[in-house]
Chain A
Amino acid sequence: DGGITQSPKYLFRKEGQNVTLSCEQNLNHDAMYWYRQDPGQGLRLIYYSQIVNDFQKGDIAEGYSVSREKKESFPLTVTSAQKNPTAFYLCASSIVGAYNEQFFGPGTRLTVL
C-alpha cells in the first residue's frame, strides 16, 4: 500500500526545544517537500529535496533544518530559532520533473506550549 506517512500526528513543543517531524514515503519518488499551513493562509514551502544528500531552501526556511540521507525519508527539525512554529506541517513527494503531480501525507500539528 503505497503512500506517505508522517509522525507524530500531534506534537507539543516547549519554548527553546528543538523537535523533529518524520516523513516517509514508499512511492519511489525522488523529490520530497515540506510545507507549512497556517489558518486562513495557503500552504508555504519550507524546504525541498530532489535527490539524496541534497536539499534547497523554500520561501520560509528560517528556523528549520532538514536532512535527506535516504530516498524514502525527509525529516524536518523545527529549531528554537523558529519564533512562531505553531502550525500544521505537511510533507509531499513527487517524481522529479516539471509536469508531475505532488502527493501529500496526513500532516503533523505542532503546538508550542
Chain B
Amino acid sequence: KQEVTQIPAALSVPEGENLVLNCSFTDSAIYNLQWFRQDPGKGLTSLLLIQSSQREQTSGRLNASLDKSSGRSTLYIAASQPGDSATYLCAVRGAYNQGGKLIFGQGTELSVKP
C-alpha cells in the first residue's frame, strides 16, 4: 500500500532564506508526483507536476526534484517571501491506481517571517 510522508510537519524561516521541503513515498511504481499549495480554508493550487520519467521541474522560484528509485521528492523554494506562507502538500499517482487517485502526504506548514 502506497504511503506518502512529509517531513517536517511545520517549518518557520526568516524571509529571504532558501528552503527545502521533503516528501517520501513507499512504492516507487508511480506515474507522477504533484506538489500543491494550500492557504488556510482554501482549495489546493497545483505548483508542479513531475512525471515518473523526469528528474525535476522548475517554475519561477520553485524547483521540484524526483528520485523515484529512492522514493523521494524535494521542493526547493528560493529566496522565500512572507507570501509563501502556506501548507505544501505532495501527492503521488500510483502506477496501479485505477481512475487517477492521488495519495497525499499530510503536508508541511510553512511560515516565512518578515
B88 within 8 A of A: no
Write the A83-110 contact mask toward B (1 if CB under 8 angstroms, else 0): 0000000101010101111111111010
Contacts of B102 in A (CB 8 A): 35, 43, 45, 102
Contact B100 A42 (CB under 8 A): no
A17 within 8 A of B: no
- How big is the B interface, by class? 20 to 34
Which residue of A41, A104, A109 contacts B44 across the interface (Cβ within 8 Å)? A104
B68 within 8 A of A: no
Chain B at the A interface: SS class: strand
Closest partner residue, chain B, to A55 (CB atom): B99
Q: Number of A residues whose C-beta is below 8 Å from B?
A: 31
Contact B32 A42 (CB under 8 A): no
Chosen A-B contacts, 23 in total, with CB atoms closer than 8 Å, are: A31-B100, A41-B106, A42-B4, A42-B106, A43-B89, A43-B104, A48-B100, A56-B98, A58-B101, A59-B101, A90-B44, A98-B31, A98-B95, A101-B32, A101-B46, A102-B46, A103-B46, A104-B43, A104-B46, A107-B41, A107-B42, A107-B43, A109-B41
Interface residues of A (CB under 8 A from B): 4, 6, 31, 33, 35, 40-45, 48, 50, 56, 58-59, 90, 92, 94, 96, 98-107, 109
